[in-house]
Copies of this chain bind each other. A is one copy, B any other.
Amino acid sequence: MSEPIASFRFAVNVTPKPGILDPQGRAVEGSLGHLGIEGVHDIHVGRRIELTVEAADEGAALAVVERLAGELLSNPLIEAFAIERLTETSDR
């Protein structure tokens, strides 16, 4: 008895929580002057992880991604994450 398996592609966006130090964001802001760019602010730099999950259905795949995002891909003390379902095929 074999369970049908499908591929689901997701992105996990990990960003510093509000109030948490964001040195990369400050570095980008500090570089704007060199490019002569004005009017850009509130820059936050985080990570984006794209991945493919094999699962019986999208709900099961999402559960795997949620566990990964909370336990491996982010530090819940200082970072927040958001999960996106990507429609691109996973044959990249």
Q: Which residues of B contact A67 (CB under 8 A)?
A: 35, 37
Q: Which residues of B contact A64 (CB under 8 A)?
A: 37, 39-40
Q: Which residues of B contact A87 (CB under 8 A)?
A: none
CB within 8 Å of B: which A41-78 residues:
41-55, 64, 67-68, 71-73
Q: How many copies does the complex hold?
A: 2
Instruction: Tally chain A residues at the interface, Cβ within 8 Å.
Output: 38
The answer to whether B45 and A49 touch across the interface, beta carbons within 8 angstroms, is: yes
**7 residue pairs bridging A and B, Cβ less than 8 Å apart:** A15-B48, A15-B50, A31-B72, A37-B64, A39-B64, A42-B51, A43-B50
Q: A13-B13, A37-B68, A44-B51 are in contact. List 10 more A-B contacts (CB 8 A).
A: A39-B53, A39-B54, A40-B51, A40-B52, A40-B64, A40-B68, A41-B52, A42-B52, A46-B47, A47-B47
